[in-house]
Structure 1
Amino acid sequence: MKIERPNFFVITGGPGSGKTTLIDVLAARGFPHVEEAGRRIIREQLRTGGNATHEGDRLAFRDLMFTDAVQTFEARTGLHTPVFFDRGLPDLIGYSRLIGEEVPPPLKEAVTRYRYNNTVFVAPPWEAIYGNDAERKQDFAEAVATHDAIRTAYRDAGYALVELPRAGVEARVDFVLMRAGVQAERRAR
């Protein structure tokens, strides 16, 4: 049975493209949001000495992100206001392809079953703002490859992709809210 949530908006793209900064501003304005699972999992793995990371056991990392993505989707199905997700389930199809692995059938089924708003916002690779940190260790070339794999996965899953402008975070927030049909002034704090 499909679970379609037109109030669930995905913001995706390669690492270092400004997704998380955008989500943080939306959260500060009071919008429900979902943090990127990969960053949360990497922090936990580093804290506990685990190896389920992009640099370690990539399949275990993908599987943890998959479990998290389903759980966070299901946990928010009772919300009727806009919810902004820092990545969605189709990202994991892109990730599987990026690391040269088959897409497991349960992931394919979940992408078909759990449906976000048809409009997916894609942050393009933007070298001027790209940077590494404790959780993001990919170089810019890998960020571009990730972006490309993710775009293909969302397109294949039937989503309409809308590229975010290469602009400051406030302009991006306004763009997302306008395209999502959300009254910005109603939520501004």
Structure 2
Amino acid sequence: MHIQQAQENMNRLIIISGCSGGGKSTLLAELKRRGYTVVEEPGRRVVSEELKRGGQALPWIDMAAFLRHVIQLAITDWTRAGTANEWIFFDRGVVDAAANLEHITGKPYLKRYGISLRYHHKVFLTPPWAEIYAEDPERRHSFDAALAEYGLLVTAYPALDYDILAIPKTNVADRATFVLDALSGNGE
């Protein structure tokens, strides 16, 4: 019974990931407006906290330390959401951070975290969208860096047996409907 319950809970944890600046936050705000629970991006929360306290675990200072903090926060988010009875939408998750940490260190973080901490098998990725990309105080990397990160994700998720669904470049209401239809089986 525990395995079945864990499987059911995992199917309620939905990842929205993809290219930085591709409209994830706007999409998640729309899902929240529609009444769904949304978990904010762990990376942005780590950056915000590190900036407030004058910390060094920032992607432009110490990327590995930053990603380790992100992984720990993503694990906490996953654990807290594990008993959910409804869909919970995550702005990125442990796989994103683990893939990036593995990329820069060469150590197998993706298997270490990505196999045991599972989300719904459908992962929604925002594609690169140069027309809406913008840097901000918490996103200080270039569009080229965002493209490289996106390349890691389109490899990492399928390597862990996730199905990637590319979110269309359209208005936010249609993007939210696309996600909800795909989850309910109406978009297939």
The 2-side partners of 1:93 and 1:75 are apart by 19
* Aligned partner of residue 95 in structure 2, secondary structure: helix
8 Å contact from structure 1 (residues 93, 103) kept in 2: no
Describe the SS at the equivalent of 2:17: strand
1:18 equivalent to 2:29? Answer: no
Matched, 1:170 2:173: yes
Match in the other structure for 2:57: 52
Which residue is equivalent to 1:8? 13
* 1:20-169 → structure 2 map (5 Å cutoff): 20-98=25-103, 100-105=104-109, 108-169=111-172
4+ long deviations beyond 6 Å: none
* Equivalent-residue separation in structure 2 for 1:103 and 1:126 (angstroms): 30
Given that 1:18 and 1:129 are in contact with CA atoms closer than 8 Å, whether structure 2 keeps it comes out as yes
Q: Secondary structure at the match of 1:152?
A: helix
Normalising by the residue count of structure 2, what TM-score does the alignment of the two structures yield? 0.90
What per-residue deviation string (whole Å, max 9, x for no partner) do you get for residues 99-158 of structure 1? x212355x5232111111100001000001100111011111111111111111111111
Measured in 2, the distance between the counterparts of 1:101 and 1:172 equals 35
**Are the equivalent residues in 1 in contact too, given 2:98–2:113 (CA < 8 A)?**
no
Structure 1: distance between partners of 2:71 and 2:98: 10
Q: Is the 8 A contact 1:90 1:157 kept in 2?
A: no
Q: Distance in 2 between matches of 1:82 and 1:94?
A: 24
| Stretch of structure 1 that moved more, 27-36 or 87-96 | 87-96
1:171 is aligned with what amino acid? D
In 1, are the aligned partners of 2:71 and 2:98 still within 8 Å (CA)?
no
> How far apart in 1 are the matches of 2:175 and 2:185?
14
Higher relative contact order (CA 8 A, sep 6+): 1
CA deviation vs aligned residue, 1:58-105 (integer Å, no higher than 9, x gap): 11111111111111111011111011011122112321245x212355
C-alpha separation between the residues in 1 aligned to 2:185 and 2:38? Answer: 14
User: What fraction of aligned residue pairs are identical, expressed as a percent?
Assistant: 33
Assess if the C-alpha contact under 8 Å between 1:93 and 1:150 holds in 2: no
Q: Which runs of 5+ in 1 are unaligned?
A: 184-189
* TM-score, normalisation: structure 1: 0.90
